[in-house]
Amino acid sequence: MSNADAFNATVFSGYFNRGGQRASIEGTIGPWRSYIALPSVETSESLVTLRTLVRSALSVALLSLPTAAAGQNPPDSTVADSMRLSGITVSVAKPAMTSGGSSSVVIDLDSLGAIPAPTMEEVLRAMPLIQIRQNSRGEMQPALRGSEDRQVAILMDGVPLTVGWDHRTDLSIIPLTAAQNVTLVRGLSSILYGPNTLGGVVEVDVARAQRRVTSVSPLTAGLALDHTGASNVSLTGGKLVDDRDHQWVFRGGLGFQDRSGSPVADGAQTDPLLREQFLSADGRRLNSDVRRVDGFFTARYRADEGVWASMSTSAYDIERGVPPETHQDGPRLWRYPEQRRLIAAVSGGTGMRDTGWGEGDLEFSLGVDVGSTLIEQFESENFQTVEETEDADDLVVTARLLGDHTLGSRADLRMSATYADVRHDEVLNPGGAASYRQRLWSVGAETEFRTGADGTTAITLGLAADGSDTPESSDKPPVERISDYGARIGLTSLVADGVLLHGGASRRSRFPSLRELYSGALGRFEPNPELKPETLLGGEAGFTATGRSTELQIVGFHHRLTNGIIRRTVVGADSVSRFQRVNQDEVRSTGLEVLAVGTFGRATLTGDMTLQRVRGYEADGSQIDLEYEPRVAGKVAIDVALATALNGTAEVRLMGEQLCENPESGGLEPLASSGIVDLSLRRLFQWGRGGAMQTLGATASVRNVMDAAVYDQCGLPQPGRLVQLQFQIR
pLDDT-derived band at 573, boundaries 50, 70, 90 = low
pLDDT at 666: 67
**Any domain includes 180:** yes
Q: Is the model's pLDDT at 85 over the cut of 60?
A: no
Task: Compute CA 248 distance to the chain's CA centroid, rounded to the nearest angstrom.
Answer: 28
**Which phi and psi (to 5°) does residue 707 adopt?**
55, 45
The model's pLDDT over 648-686, given as tens digits with 9 standing for 90+, comes to 999 999 999 999 877 666 678 888 899 999 999 999 998
Total count of domains within the chain: 1
Distance CA 54, CA 621 (A): 49
* DSSP label at residue 175: B
**Any domain includes 708:** yes
Task: Compute CA 561 distance to the chain's CA centroid, rounded to the nearest angstrom.
Answer: 21
The model's pLDDT over 346-384, given as tens digits with 9 standing for 90+, comes to 888 998 899 999 999 999 988 889 999 999 999 999 999
The model's pLDDT over 241-276, given as tens digits with 9 standing for 90+, comes to 998 888 999 999 999 999 999 999 887 877 776 788
The number of beta carbons lying within 10 Å of the beta carbon of residue 230 is 20
pLDDT-derived band at 57, boundaries 50, 70, 90 = very low
pLDDT at 721: 95
Task: Compute CA 576 distance to the chain's CA centroid, rounded to the nearest angstrom.
Answer: 36
The model's pLDDT over 426-456, given as tens digits with 9 standing for 90+, comes to 999 988 899 999 999 999 999 999 887 777 8
pLDDT at 630: 92
Give the mean pLDDT of 505-523: 87
Which helix or strand (DSSP H or E) is residue 308 part of? strand 308-321
Give the mean pLDDT of 7-26: 31
**Any domain includes 149:** yes
Based on C-alpha coordinates, what's the Rg of the chain?
24
- Number of residues written out for the chain: 730
pTM > 0.75: yes
Give the mean pLDDT of 36-64: 32
Q: Is the model's pLDDT at 100 over the cut of 80?
A: no
What are the start-end ranges of the E strands in 350-481? Answer: 353-354, 359-378, 386-406, 411-429, 432-451, 457-473
Q: Is the model's pLDDT at 86 over the cut of 60?
A: no
**Which phi and psi (to 5°) does residue 504 adopt?**
-175, 170
Task: Compute CA 301 distance to the chain's CA centroid, rounded to the nearest angstrom.
Answer: 27
pLDDT-derived band at 211, boundaries 50, 70, 90 = low
pLDDT at 156: 79
Q: Is the model's pLDDT at 232 over the cut of 60?
A: yes
**Any domain includes 649:** yes
pLDDT at 665: 67
**Any domain includes 5:** no
Give the mean pLDDT of 92-110: 52
DSSP string, 589-601: EEEEEEEEEEEET
Q: Is the model's pLDDT at 730 over the cut of 50?
A: yes
pLDDT at 110: 64
Report CA-CA distances (Å) from 506 to 164, 346, 500, 559. Answer: 24, 31, 20, 9
What region, left, alpha or beta, does residue 382 occupy, with left being phi > 0 and alpha being psi -120 to 50 degrees? alpha
**Any domain includes 712:** yes
Q: Residue 551 contacts by C-beta under 8 Å, 6 or more apart in sequence?
A: 12, 27, 29, 34, 36, 544, 545, 595, 596, 597, 598
- What is the rounded average pLDDT for all residues in the chain? 80
CATH classification at residue 478 = 2.40.170.20
Distance CA 504, CA 101 (A): 5
Count Cβ neighbours within 10 Å for each residue of 669-695 and write b for 16 or more, e otherwise.
eebeebebebebebbbeeeeeeeeeeb
The model's pLDDT over 552-568, given as tens digits with 9 standing for 90+, comes to 889 999 999 999 887 77
**Any domain includes 696:** yes
At 584, the amino acid letter reads Q
Of 156 and 315, the structure prediction assigns the larger pLDDT to 315
Strand order, beta sheet including 181-185: 81-85, 88-92, 10-14, 25-29, 32-35, 104-108, 181-185, 201-205, 153-156, 159-160
Cβ–Cβ < 8 Å for 97, 403: no
Distance CA 98, CA 81 (A): 19
Cβ–Cβ < 8 Å for 128, 32: yes
Q: Residue 406 contacts by C-beta under 8 Å, 6 or more apart in sequence?
A: 20, 358, 359, 360, 412, 413
What are the start-end ranges of the E strands in 407-431? Answer: 411-429
pLDDT at 686: 87
Q: Is the model's pLDDT at 96 over the cut of 50?
A: no
For 175, the domain range is 10-729
pLDDT at 280: 81
The model's pLDDT over 322-336, given as tens digits with 9 standing for 90+, comes to 999 888 888 889 999
Q: Is the model's pLDDT at 90 over the cut of 80?
A: no
Residue 116 DSSP SS3: coil
pLDDT at 13: 29
Give the mean pLDDT of 298-315: 89
pLDDT-derived band at 305, boundaries 50, 70, 90 = confident
pLDDT-derived band at 391, boundaries 50, 70, 90 = very high
The model's pLDDT over 448-488, given as tens digits with 9 standing for 90+, comes to 998 877 778 999 999 999 999 999 999 889 999 999 999 99
Distance CA 606, CA 368 (A): 40
pLDDT-derived band at 549, boundaries 50, 70, 90 = confident
The model's pLDDT over 111-167, given as tens digits with 9 standing for 90+, comes to 556 678 888 898 888 888 888 988 888 899 998 888 888 888 888 777 788 888 989
The number of beta carbons lying within 10 Å of the beta carbon of residue 374 is 17
Distance CA 27, CA 35 (A): 6
pLDDT at 105: 75
pLDDT-derived band at 101, boundaries 50, 70, 90 = low
The number of beta carbons lying within 10 Å of the beta carbon of residue 387 is 14
